Structure 1
Amino acid sequence: MDLRPHARLRGATPVDLTTAVTPVLEALGEDDADLDRVRVVCDWVQYKQSFRDVVDVRPILSCDGTGAGPTPTPISVRDDDLEVAVDLRRSGGVALKELTAARLSADPGARVHLEDWGPGSASCIWDFNALYWSHLRLWEEATGQGYEQALPGGESDARNRDGARALIDELFVVWDGLAASGALPDQLYVVELGVGNGSQARVFLDEFRARDRAHGRGYYRRLHYLMCDYSQHVLDLARATVAEHRDHVSSFVLDATRPRTSLGFLTVKVFLVYISNVYDNLPTDEVAQLGGRTYCVQTRAHLPAAPAAEIAAQVHAEPCELPGLVRKLLRLGPELLVDAAPAHVPDLAAAVDFWRRVWAEIRLEERYVPLGGLDLYALAPGVSGEMLRPLLESGADLRMHVSNGALASFVDTLPLLHPYGKLVCHDLFVTETQAYRTHFRGPGKYDGSVVNWVNGRLLAHVARRRGFDVQYAPFAHRSGGNIVTMSAQVMD
């Protein structure tokens, strides 16, 4: 048994293990499972919406699912068959024994599966994530609120004047030194990945202009601020927000995991890359080390039977037709879905409502599949799975994010930095591997998008191999919260 939220055992309202765990063990005792080969894992899923049920059952396979046969079990390696996962936060007031028994005996065919098994980064939940950012305006109109209101606290930590002033002052120190030696370029580049509605860019540019006037070096005249985002709608909002600085601003639609596709002309030229709440929104796999064996966590998105029947009835379809409608929605978007499936969604409002209802109910089945070898697993372009070894073999059983999308973005961004440049990122970082053993780190749902904590230890390990130093610190300009500031620059 693996009880991860240790802190919940104490305090004013401690978890009652008798009511939270005993019913699960009773259900297992009445099942025909070999208890010697069963893991029970208890998490505290803090997200109000996630892809988890109160109780999930995860097979632990002995082969890779391709029919290649079982992977040999080394001596001293524990070989489990099954993992039962319980969300302690929602377990109170639930008939836990009956629910666990139902999960153990459930017919998978009762669910409406939206995809086949595959690594987490390839799941259709990331297509939903992309749909959200591509059609953000429609979602906001349907919900009546902007996407930032879905964040904890209702806004991003990026919009902070004290933080902007600190960054600008650091830039001026570097530029003054280069100017004194005649090495300062004529063009001074700053890049922001994931601009949101442009508020952070506006704060930075306003403060930059004011401090440059006081500084008296004319850096604002030479400044080029590049706003980059996946969503054209978001960039349009951002451009309007920074209209006063338009002569110093350019905007780029780009894939955050491959920034140099659009920004390659800036290689070794950028003095500041600024990122806020982007990495936690990029696709990721999960891997696990259980009993001395390494696994990939495969997922399969589905709709539970009852919600699927309700959604199907609302769009005049059978439950078995939902996967096809969902694929059309993800491929075409809500506007074109109206033309492609008028019998099911007669107008745009119905298409958006279908999108939101499916997203609210979508869940992920999970299973553990053995990894044949870390050297055969690519974390990101040019990054071998061997980078995971020191983290996975750091102690007891462990399950953690690979942060493939964040790692790909990070590795592809570093070459843009000037030798005196710096990357600054505010996000949800796991900075100690042990934290994966004590807390649930996603995935969760923020409005219509996906959120996962980012494997900061892995990013730092990869960066050091490439000659960059990475530091983590609590966000300095707001107390409380979970945001951590990562900075990366060329090693001295």
Structure 2
Amino acid sequence: MNSGHSELASLGDFQPADVWQVHVNHIFYGTKGPGIHQHFQTYVSRDHRLAYALADHFFKHCETLPTEVPLLVQEWGVGNGNLAARMLDRLKEIDTEGRVYPRLSYTLCDYSQEILNGVEANPDLQAHAGRYATALIDARDPEGAEPGSLTWVLSNEIWDDLATRVLIKSQGMLFEEYLQPLIEPAVIQGDFDTFVRQFQNADLDVLKTHPPFLDQIVWERAFQRTDVGDWPFGDVVNKHMESIDDDIPTPVNVGAFGTLEKAHRLLHPQHSAGYTGFDYGMLSTAHLNRVGRPYFKLYGGQYTSMVNFPLLAEVGQAAGFSQIELEPQHAYVGRSLEEPLISLLELVQNHPKVGEMAPWDVDVLMLETLQALNTHYRSPYTSKMDYPTLPGTPKKQRKLIAQLVKNLSTRGVPDTVAYVTESEVRAVEKPLRKLGYREKDIQRSFSLNDAPIQFCRLTLR
């Protein structure tokens, strides 16, 4: 394949997609640490509603257990610690008789010490001293707890970061995607050959000193004939590919397979609430076969893969789980709040003119929509949203954005991907109409049930 970029130089040879994905993500997390949160937000980075739903679910499960059973929870891939902090807040609040929270041991596990350092500095989590600990553990490693000891395992958006191979079926044969990283040498300060060695060796201490380069990488792609017989759960993968149409790139999240095996081994055989994971990807075979759907994304150089949830469910059964629940994440949280909900971002994306707007005008619309919602929305937490302007924003819009940010409520919607309910949106229909939203735009926002890529919940017991 020809990339069409003659000025680009290679950072390494073609290798299966999972090899380079794992390598570049190791560099991403190892060099940026807590700074990763400048590149993306998740549904748990600042919001509380998913955490509260999880806490309510776990509390109900614990009420069915004998009081002498220890409650050991592990979270794999911990972000900024907000999910754990808000879950513990909620558990403490609803445990009025002190039957659950005081005997809970919650361990936040991550393979990056940089990330754990950021979590340990989280003051909201520090409020629960004695109930939690941190551990430098890779979710794919077999170690981490005594087999059969854990009550619950949960993770949020880690499967998309883990090793993922990509298959295409064509005329009865399987082909695997290979990647090669390329970059313009001018991006790198200093000797380019020396940098290539540092990149290939993942020399994190030295790579931290370089100006940002990960988001400058261009990925060349090629496909080679393959046999999945020696892959993890190769027989399951082979069977799965029979349901996939020709020429559809299909993620095979082999790294996630390892987390399922590990969870099955560590969870208590009778008392566990299972392994609950949240991520974004394809919910059904029909979504897998949707022509043109994405199968990877880049965030500031981080290489993430869409999660093949039907295949994870099939692997979970093969790994020994007998009960499997798979649904949209919105449905899970909405059931907890007893009404439909969406993210603020989804509402803005359904504005009739958003596709015609310059990026800075979309920022203005986002902030004006926030202000409208904040006349009704009240968060149980105090926070002030940080909303930096995009490079190249004209002076007029830059000044307007700064003023809008200054006026944001500290008890308002905490994040652009925070959940808002239908009643909260309906309560501010009049100011939303003034911003150009129509009734059909709001209705469409709450009826996006067939998108090829969705945030999903998978629970295995």
Query: Shorter chain as normaliser: what TM range?
Result: 0.5 to 0.7
- Do structure 1's residue 378 and structure 2's residue 231 form an aligned pair? yes
- Do structure 1's residue 489 and structure 2's residue 460 form an aligned pair? yes
Distance 1:489-1:297 versus aligned 2 partners, 3 A rule: closer
Q: Distance in 1 between matches of 2:458 and 2:293?
A: 25
The letter for the 1-side match of 2:58 is: L
Specify the alignment match of 2:299 in structure 1: 446
TM-score by length of 2: 0.67
Specify the alignment match of 2:367 in structure 1: none
Distance 1:485-1:158 versus aligned 2 partners, 3 A rule: farther
Q: CA deviation at 1:128?
A: 2.4
Distance 1:361-1:489 versus aligned 2 partners, 3 A rule: closer
Residue correspondence of structure 1 range 43-54 to structure 2 within 5 A: none
Residue correspondence of structure 1 range 325-336 to structure 2 within 5 A: 325-329=195-199, 331=201, 333=203, 335-336=205-206
| Percent identical residues | 21
Tell which structure's C-alpha radius of gyration is larger: 1
Corresponding residue to 1:297 among 177, 192, 196: 177
Q: CA deviation at 1:109?
A: 8.2
Q: Distance in 1 between matches of 2:73 and 2:55?
A: 11
Q: Distance in 2 between matches of 1:178 and 1:274?
A: 19
TM-score by length of 1: 0.63
The letter for the 2-side match of 1:331 is: N
Specify the alignment match of 1:148 in structure 2: 37
Q: CA deviation at 1:454?
A: 0.8
Aligned 8 A contact 1:134 1:230 in 2: no
- Do structure 1's residue 276 and structure 2's residue 156 form an aligned pair? yes
Distance 1:111-1:162 versus aligned 2 partners, 3 A rule: closer
Aligned 8 A contact 1:270 1:421 in 2: no
Q: CA deviation at 1:329?
A: 4.0
The letter for the 1-side match of 2:143 is: T
SS of residue paired to 1:352: coil
Q: Distance in 2 between matches of 1:212 and 1:281?
A: 34
Residue correspondence of structure 1 range 133-144 to structure 2 within 5 A: 133-137=29-33
Aligned 8 A contact 2:78 2:108 in 1: yes
Q: Distance in 2 between matches of 1:406 and 1:220?
A: 30
Aligned 8 A contact 2:169 2:241 in 1: yes
Corresponding residue to 1:392 among 236, 241, 256: 241
- Do structure 1's residue 239 and structure 2's residue 130 form an aligned pair? no
Aligned 8 A contact 2:44 2:50 in 1: no
Residue correspondence of structure 1 range 399-418 to structure 2 within 5 A: 399-418=249-268
Q: CA deviation at 1:297?
A: 1.5
Q: Any idea what the Cα deviations from partners look like across 1:226-255, whole Å, max 9, x if unmatched? A: 101121122122123211212111111112
Specify the alignment match of 1:462 in structure 2: 315
Residue correspondence of structure 1 range 61-460 to structure 2 within 5 A: 103=2, 111-123=8-20, 125-137=21-33, 146-151=35-40, 154-157=41-44, 159-179=46-66, 184-213=67-96, 216-241=97-122, 242-258=125-141, 260-263=142-145, 265=146, 267-303=147-183, 307-308=184-185, 310-311=186-187, 314-315=189-190, 317=191, 321-322=192-193, 324-329=194-199, 331=201, 333=203, 335-336=205-206, 351-353=209-211, 356-357=212-213, 359-371=214-226, 373-375=227-229, 377-379=230-232, 383=233, 385-394=234-243, 396-397=245-246, 398-418=248-268, 419=270, 420-437=272-289, 438-460=291-313
The letter for the 2-side match of 1:311 is: V
Q: Any idea what the Cα deviations from partners look like across 1:63-90, whole Å, max 9, x if unmatched? A: xxxxxxxxxxxxxxxxxxxxxxxxxxxx
Specify the alignment match of 1:94 in structure 2: none
The letter for the 1-side match of 2:178 is: Q
Q: Any idea what the Cα deviations from partners look like across 1:110-134, whole Å, max 9, x if unmatched? A: 74222222211112x4322112212
Q: CA deviation at 1:334?
A: 5.1
Q: Any idea what the Cα deviations from partners look like across 1:168-189, whole Å, max 9, x if unmatched? A: 333333322222xxxx444211
Distance 1:296-1:148 versus aligned 2 partners, 3 A rule: same
Total equivalences in the alignment: 337
Q: CA RMSD in A?
A: 2.6
Q: What 5-or-longer segments of structure 2 have no aligned partner? A: 334-340, 347-452
Q: CA deviation at 1:223?
A: 0.6
Q: CA deviation at 1:159?
A: 4.9
Distance 1:487-1:399 versus aligned 2 partners, 3 A rule: closer
The letter for the 1-side match of 2:161 is: N
Q: Distance in 2 between matches of 1:156 and 1:329?
A: 31
Q: Distance in 2 between matches of 1:160 and 1:133?
A: 22
Aligned 8 A contact 1:116 1:300 in 2: yes
Aligned 8 A contact 2:283 2:454 in 1: no
The letter for the 2-side match of 1:273 is: V
Q: Distance in 2 between matches of 1:395 and 1:401?
A: 11
The letter for the 2-side match of 1:225 is: Y
Distance 1:225-1:410 versus aligned 2 partners, 3 A rule: same
SS of residue paired to 2:311: helix
Indicate the larger mover: 476-485 or 427-436: 476-485
